[in-house]
């Protein structure tokens, strides 16, 4: 009986030590600071990709996120003037966005509330070709707009790395000294899927 009790105590002590070492290993595993995502909508306009770096030793410390987004389109049309003139036009436009955002994650484990604030530089290029029975007209243009951006949403990200999922609202707003193209905030939903390492 005494021998069995001794073996039982040794077994329990071994089990407790093993679970304690396992817990320490999990807690002391270094934070995976880098992550990349593929993005849909949000401050990427339509399609984009992002890179993020987290500062500090915990996932709740501040992070900085940047990326590149794109949206483009092409269209054509024609119209008649009252004097009998006929015009046809082709328009191509591309919009590129370069957001830079500082963010914080609230929630210590895998599920987080993400809040962030930053700037978005948007570059627009356009090409217009107009045709009529007696003349052709071509015009090209480029413009740069800088706006404010915020993010509020949900993020799944493990401190130990792996799969990342984001679902958020990312409003863009006019800066006090900026252009007038945004008079009220534009609420962009955003979806991101990626990997932290």
CB atoms inside a 10 Å sphere around CB 9 = 10
Q: Is the pLDDT of residue 130 over 90?
A: no
Q: What's the CA angle centered on 168, arms 41 and 119, to 5 degrees?
A: 65
pLDDT single digits (tens) 131-181: 776 777 788 889 898 889 999 999 999 999 999 999 999 988 887 765 555
In this predicted structure, what is the pLDDT of residue 26? 43
Q: Which of 12-26, 106-120, 163-177 has the lowest mean pLDDT?
A: 12-26
105-132 mean pLDDT: 91
Cα 167 to Cα 170: distance, rounded to the nearest angstrom: 10
Asked if the model's pLDDT at residue 17 lies above 50, the reply is no
Predicted confidence band at 117 (pLDDT cuts at 50, 70, 90)? very high
Residues 34-91 have pLDDT tens digits of: 999 999 998 888 999 999 999 999 999 999 999 999 999 888 877 666 666 667 888 8
């Amino acid at each position: 009986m005494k021998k069995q009790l001794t073996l039982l105590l040794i077994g329990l002590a071994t089990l407790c030590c093993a679970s304690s070492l396992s817990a320490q290993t999990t807690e002391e595993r270094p934070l995976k600071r880098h992550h990349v995502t593929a993005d849909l909508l949000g401050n990427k306009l339509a399609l984009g990709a992002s890179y993020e770096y987290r500062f500090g030793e915990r996932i709740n410390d501040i992070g900085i996120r940047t990326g590149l987004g794109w949206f483009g389109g092409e269209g054509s049309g024609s119209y008649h003037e009252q004097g009998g003139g006929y015009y046809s036009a082709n328009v191509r436009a591309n919009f590129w966005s370069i957001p830079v955002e500082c963010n914080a994650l609230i929630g210590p484990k895998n599920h987080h509330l993400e809040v962030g604030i930053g700037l978005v530089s948007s570059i627009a290029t356009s090409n217009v070709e107009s045709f009529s029975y007696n003349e052709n007209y071509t015009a090209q243009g480029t413009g740069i707009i800088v706006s404010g951006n915020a993010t509020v949403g949900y993020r799944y990200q493990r401190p130990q790395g792996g799969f990342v999922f984001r679902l958020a609202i990312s409003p863009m707003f006019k800066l006090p000294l900026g252009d007038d193209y945004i008079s009220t905030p534009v609420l962009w939903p955003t979806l991101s899927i990626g990997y932290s390492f």
